[in-house]
Chains A and B, each alone.
Chain A
Amino acid sequence: MSILEFKGVTKDYRLGETTVQALRGVDLSVGKGEFIAVLGASGSGKTTLLNLAGAIDDPTSGEVSMNGRNISGLTDNEKAEIRNSAIGYIFQTFNLVPVLTSLENVMLSLQIRGGRTADIRNEASRRLDEVGLADFMLHRPDKLSGGQRQRVAIARALVTRPTLILADEPTANLDHQTAQSIIDLMKELNEKEGVTFLFSTHDQRLINEVKRVVRIDDGKIVQ
């Protein structure tokens, strides 16, 4: 059963007087528990694909569905709820809130959803422990290495138990060894917990680990 489906999706951007076609009729289906890499050159439409999958952008035409529900026509609030409950994000530049500790950063998504602070704290601690940062819970991002920051971002993406985790070049800003540990962690979460990953990457090591590759070129899926 597919949890994410693109049907004839196009996306145009206006750049001054010209219109750039970022996606040109994309059809894609992502099943539960998949570990998919989206490959393509810069400007091929990888990030646009992830943005539409994550309900942070709207297609120009076509339909993006999550768990059978068309998310393109939803209101801003409805999309925010879907992002909070069904989608986890891992950004290339980590995007942690600098004034919050690791623990507080992981707690954020659950705080947005609402609930007892003690429960939220416990769940966030457990997730940080899972990604190997039990000793760094009270550290702020500027006191963490790049790999540790990305682990915090992964814990933050996992904490709401989302249907799908989207990662935009998750190892691009990391050194070789750290990138490998992040790849291992994502793979482990996919295999053990059945978390679905859809990520864009240029990292050959990551590509070697995936079960499925989606290649995109000039806004079209070519493989």
Chain B
Amino acid sequence: MLMWLTISFRNIIKNGRRSLMTVLAIALGYAAINLFQGYVHSTYEGLTNAAIHGEGLGHITIFKKGYLDQGKLHPERFQFSKDEVERISGIVRKEADVQLVTPRLSVSGILSNGRSSTIFIAEGLVPADDKEIRGDLSRYASFSGSYLDDKERAGVVIGSELAAMLDLKVGSDAVVLSNTYSGMANALDAKISGIYNTGNTATNDKMLLMTFRHSQDLMDFSGAERLVVLLKDGRNGKNLLSVLGRLEKDLADAGFSVEMKTWNELSVFYKQVKNLFDMIFLFIFIIVMVIVVMSVVNTMSMSVMERTREIGTLRALGLKRPGVKALFATEGALLGFLGSAIGFVIFLTVYALITAAHPTYVPPGSSNPVPLRVDLVWPVLGRSVLSLAVLALLAAYVPARRSARMAIVDALGHI
């Protein structure tokens, strides 16, 4: 094997210029794939974080069975009662991987400053629990005022566009108006305790956060629409599904008819972005694959043509057909490895430049610039080396097979 590696390596060096073009094609392909993968990984991480913590979805959301199909039509039928909230929360808290479980109530209605009004969508949430899920929003630069506090029951936090539309400032008084589940209109006083940029143009002009008790008052309801479960650090991924399975069983055993959704099932934006990026990645990978395969096939075909007499000699010396195939396939794989190695250096150089330059951009649907980041994902970098080497090996196999099938007499007589 060492001899075949030696022959392959020296032939690559011998045909330096031709090999360099092939190796560069593979290197640029490797760098392109991994820079995009690193960017996608960073984006997925950001989106995951944004969905679980930023959007406050937590890891798992528990709904009453049927809510997702008919909850908007008949909300009163698919709410958890106060007693159900307490009992379900008790069961969920017993799960070792659960950090907290908290009730939520969605409200929509009209926000008024006394002179004009506009629609809002609101989340009624327990301030202390929400701080645990989202972190302290008031620490962000785009946040002004203070966050929700159970002591300030009528306090609300609103999107900056919504505040601008109604000329509301921190400390301003307002009125929230909504329909209760029984269909009655209900209005309550509200005080603007905080204003923030939601980061999403679609929600920044209508988002309102209120305390859970305030939302219960507005809806004239003592229960909750759903329960949000936050798992302990590092319990996302495979653990998430096993926790989900255990909770489903525990709640079913206790006689509750519920349905549960994970954060990625609920975050439409995450799913859309992931599908888009997966499609773009597939497109880039196919282009790189075609370039790599064509380069390697071309190089190896020329190599086979130039070394026909050598093939005849090796066969005359007793090398079997699989041995000839292995010889050229080894050369193809070596081209793949060398290309990947140089591609890795190119990747690291671009990675270092991006890390040093901190470029930012405003993605579609976002109201804030976000940093352009590329993650170092070692398993992906390693897998790419292997994939390109295997791809180059397979590409080399076609001319290698042709060379192995050549009649020895013809190969020896080749000029």
A-side contacts of B6, CB under 8 Å:
99-100, 104
What's the Cα separation between A108 and B2 when bound, in Å? 11
User: Are B11 and A99 neighbours in the complex by a CB distance under 8 Å?
Assistant: yes
Interface residue count on the B side (C-beta < 8 Å): 24
- Contacts A91-B313, A97-B313, A104-B3: A112 and B412 contacting too (C-beta < 8 A)? no
Q: Number of A-B pairs whose CB atoms are under 8 Å?
A: 70
User: Are A111 and B3 neighbours in the complex by a CB distance under 8 Å?
Assistant: yes
A-side contacts of B310, CB under 8 Å:
95, 97-98
B-side contacts of A97, CB under 8 Å:
7, 310, 313-314
- Of the 9-residue stretches B225-233, B290-298, B318-326, B385-393, which lies at the interface with chain A? B318-326
User: Are B314 and A99 neighbours in the complex by a CB distance under 8 Å?
Assistant: no
- Contacts A108-B3, A111-B3, A112-B323: A95 and B412 contacting too (C-beta < 8 A)? yes
Interface residues on A, range: 20 to 34
Among B315, B318, B409, B412, the one with the most A-chain Cβ atoms within 10 Å of its Cβ is B318
Q: Which residues between 300 and 334 of chain B lie within 8 Å of chain A, taking CB atoms?
A: 309-310, 312-321, 323
What's the Cα separation between A74 and B254 when bound, in Å? 76
User: Are A84 and B317 neighbours in the complex by a CB distance under 8 Å?
Assistant: yes
- Of the 9-residue stretches A51-59, A130-138, A189-197, which lies at the interface with chain B? A51-59
Nearest residue (CB) in B for A52 is B409
Partner of A56, one of B2, B3, B10, B409: B409
What's the Cα separation between A99 and B317 when bound, in Å? 17
User: Are B412 and A77 neighbours in the complex by a CB distance under 8 Å?
Assistant: no
User: Are B316 and A56 neighbours in the complex by a CB distance under 8 Å?
Assistant: yes
User: Are A89 and B317 neighbours in the complex by a CB distance under 8 Å?
Assistant: yes
Q: B14 within 8 Å of A by Cβ? A: yes
Q: B408 within 8 Å of A by Cβ? A: yes
User: Are B317 and A77 neighbours in the complex by a CB distance under 8 Å?
Assistant: no
User: Are B319 and A112 neighbours in the complex by a CB distance under 8 Å?
Assistant: yes
User: Are B318 and A109 neighbours in the complex by a CB distance under 8 Å?
Assistant: yes
B-side contacts of A4, CB under 8 Å:
none
User: Are B317 and A117 neighbours in the complex by a CB distance under 8 Å?
Assistant: no
- Contacts A57-B408, A57-B409: A76 and B316 contacting too (C-beta < 8 A)? no
User: Are A54 and B321 neighbours in the complex by a CB distance under 8 Å?
Assistant: no
A-side contacts of B316, CB under 8 Å:
54, 56, 83, 89
User: Are A95 and B318 neighbours in the complex by a CB distance under 8 Å?
Assistant: no
B residues near A, CB below 8 A?
2-3, 6-7, 10-11, 14, 309-310, 312-321, 323, 407-409, 412
- CB<8 Å pairs between A and B, sample of 11: A51-B409, A76-B320, A77-B320, A84-B317, A84-B318, A95-B412, A97-B314, A108-B314, A111-B3, A112-B317, A112-B319
11 other contacts beyond A83-B315, A99-B11, A104-B3, with CB at 8 A cut-off?
Answer: A51-B409, A56-B409, A76-B321, A82-B318, A84-B317, A89-B317, A95-B310, A97-B313, A99-B7, A99-B14, A113-B318
Q: Which 3 A-B pairs have the closest CB atoms?
A: A84-B318, A99-B10, A95-B313
